[in-house]
Amino acid sequence: MSDSFLVSPLGSLEYAPAPESAALARLSDSYGLFIDGRFSDPESHELVETLNPATGEPLARYARGSTSDVDAAVRSARHAYESVWRDLPGSERAKYLFRIARLIQERARELAVVETLDNGKPIRETRDVDVPLAAAHFFYYAGWADKLGYAGYGAAPRPLGVAGQIIPWNFPLLMAAWKLAPALAAGNTCVLKPAETTPLSALVLAEILQQADLPPGVVNIVTGDGTTGAALVAHPGIDKVAFTGSTEVGRRIQRTAAQTGRHLTLELGGKGANIVFEDAPLDEVIEGIIDGIFFNQGHVCCAGSRLLVEESVADEVLRRLRRRMDQLRVGDPLDKNTDVGAVNSATQLDKITELVEAGEREGALRYSASCALPDRGYWFAPTVFSNVSQTHRIAREEIFGPVLSMLTFRTPDEAVAKANNTPYGLACGVWSEKGSRTLWVAERLKAGVIWANTYNQFDPTSPFGGVRESGFGREGGRQGLEAYLDV
């Protein structure tokens, strides 16, 4: 039966624009580095532009941290570690973390707008996910700061020292919180390097650290590009490297770190499988698939980018999925009703486009949502490929965009085999009304995170991280402390 009589769902009650005000971001023209508790003069650095990916227009200029800037930051962090932070009682460190968490909440609206402008993700997500979760991470680890002896790592576990932390552009503020909160709770000091295309929310966070009276040098934020990150990783003064980003860069970092014996945790790419059995709750499955791949434009390392559907319901799932995709509201990220925002950069858009073209060439069947895309900025319509086989590049390589590859299976064994047929191992989803089957499958999946009848749910109390080429080490939960303690 066609659904022609179901007129376009959004055709009748068309939502008038409901934009959040960009002025809330209170952006400066240019930003310096945050070292030793102070912002440096922007004009003393080489400045680069950061763009609004929704328009392609520049938002602000920020400093490209040089090797000597990195050196100054690491020395400041070392000094703060030895003179203040290491020996501060846990209950005192907790006070700072609680303060930071509350200040994030107080400035939530500003942070949400800054993040949306700089990253391109919809305000609905920054407002309801990124910013509240960032605050929640600080709250959570604040609670641990004076209870480290009960975390299961000995009676009085020691911090590692100075942590060099490099974060990606897909969740700029949230990843900063994931890195900083456990490190600070455990008594380490930090040098944080935000991603090249999304430095702004970390710089607002630096203002918050000042507001919170965090002792100078405990957190230093050095913006810049890959060379800045490389200088940080190679700096002899750091004791720990924590990196979230691509598997390729992760390999290089591991190579560098291997020669030093310093601690390392890596959270890298993924090609998550979302496995749907025929008895699954179909309407919720569709929402789970949508959340799994179109959340944050698919710029999610744990995205459910491979959809594995039992053959008996594959047509039904695909039909419903396409209908749902047509309802996604793609456009102005600042509009409160936008579901899918802009791709973060021209480089990323090129990569997505290249892989999608490869998918078409290799014979997979493409369906893209019928939405109109803005004519400036970087955009890609939500897309699903069906008739995908395991050998296709779109089934093997991480696309990191709103592109889903659908494969089918016949038995639970085949589902597990296909799900595990990837070098990655970050996250998987299992959809079934039968608990015993869900557990049977989950036990056999090689992934750090497995969601049952849901996808892309995050909580500070729950450890997150990968196996195989998705990295090692956990962030979140009690386990997240281990990465910053000498155990």
Partner 1 sequence: MRVPSVERRPSFADEVQLRRALDHLSGVDAVGVTHRVAKLATRSLKTSTKSRAIDLALSMIDLTTLEGSDTPGRVASLCAKARRPDPEDPTTPAAAAVCVYPDLVADARRHLEGSSVAVASVATAFPSGRAPLSVKLADVGAAVEAGADEIDMVIDRGAFLSGRLGQVFDEIEAVKAECRGAHLKVILETGELVTLDNVKRASWLAMWAGADFIKTSTGKVSVNATPTVGLVMLEAVRDFAEETGSLVGVKMAGGIRTTKDALRYLVLINETVGSRWLSPDLFRFGASSLMNDLLMQRTKQRLGAYVRPERFSGD
Chain residues that interact with partner 1, rule: CB under 8 A = 1, 3, 5-18, 124, 128, 279-284, 287-288, 327, 336-337, 433, 453-454
Q: Closest distance between partner 1 and the C-beta of residue 454, in Å? A: 7
Q: Which two tokens stand for residue 412?
A: 């639970």
The minimum distance between CB 369 and partner 1, in angstroms, equals: 14
* Sequence-distant (≥ 6) Cβ neighbours of residue 25 within 8 angstroms: 110, 113, 114, 117, 200
Of 10 and 487, the one with the shorter C-beta distance to partner 1 is 10
- DSSP annotation of 226: H
CA distances from 211 to 34, 39, 96, 287 (A): 13, 13, 10, 40
The phi and psi torsions of 261 (rounded to 5 degrees) equal 80, 5
- Minimal distance, residue 370 CB to partner 1, in Å: 14
CB of 284 to partner 1, least distance (A): 3
Kindly name the residue from 301, 302, 371, 428 that is annotated as catalytic. 301
371 tagged catalytic: no
Q: Is residue 435 exposed (0-12), middle (13-18) or buried (19+ Cβ within 10 Å)?
A: exposed
The answer to whether the Cα torsion of 253, 256, 260, 261 is positive or negative is: positive
Q: Six-digit token pair at 260?
A: 């030093």
> Rounded to whole angstroms, what are the CA distances from 365 to 105, 131, 154, 325, 337?
45, 37, 55, 16, 30
| Shortest Å, Cβ 295 to partner 1 | 11
| 301 counts as catalytic | yes
Q: Tokens representing 366?
A: 């493409």
Q: What is the largest CA-CA distance in the chain?
A: 73
Cβ at position 438, least distance to partner 1 in Å? 12
3-state secondary structure 176-193: HHHHHHHHHHHCCEEEEE
Eight-class DSSP state of 367: E
Looking up tokens 């700096």 gives 235
Sign of the C-alpha dihedral, residues 195, 197, 201, 202? positive
Task: Exactly one of 115, 267, 469, 482 is catalytic; name it.
Answer: 267
Provide the minimum distance between the beta carbon of 124 and partner 1 in the complex, in angstroms, as a whole number.
Answer: 6
Measured in whole angstroms, the distance separating CA 397 from the mean position of its chain's CA atoms is: 18
Which residue, 1 or 23, is less far from partner 1 as judged by CB?
Answer: 1
Tokens encoding 310: 């039992």
Q: Which of 227, 155, 146, 220 is nearest to 186 (CA)?
A: 146
- Toward partner 1, which CB reaches closer, 16 or 372? 16
Report the residue number, 6 or 372, with the smaller CB distance to partner 1: 6
- Could you tell me where the beta strands, DSSP code E, fall in 101-248? 158-159, 162-166, 189-193, 219-221, 240-244
SS3 383: strand
Question: Residue 231 corresponds to which amino acid?
Answer: A
In the block, tokens 């699954």 appear at 280
Structure tokens at 128: 């309801």
Q: Could you tell me the smallest distance in angstroms from the CB atom of residue 283 to partner 1?
A: 5
**Active-site annotation, residues:** 267, 301
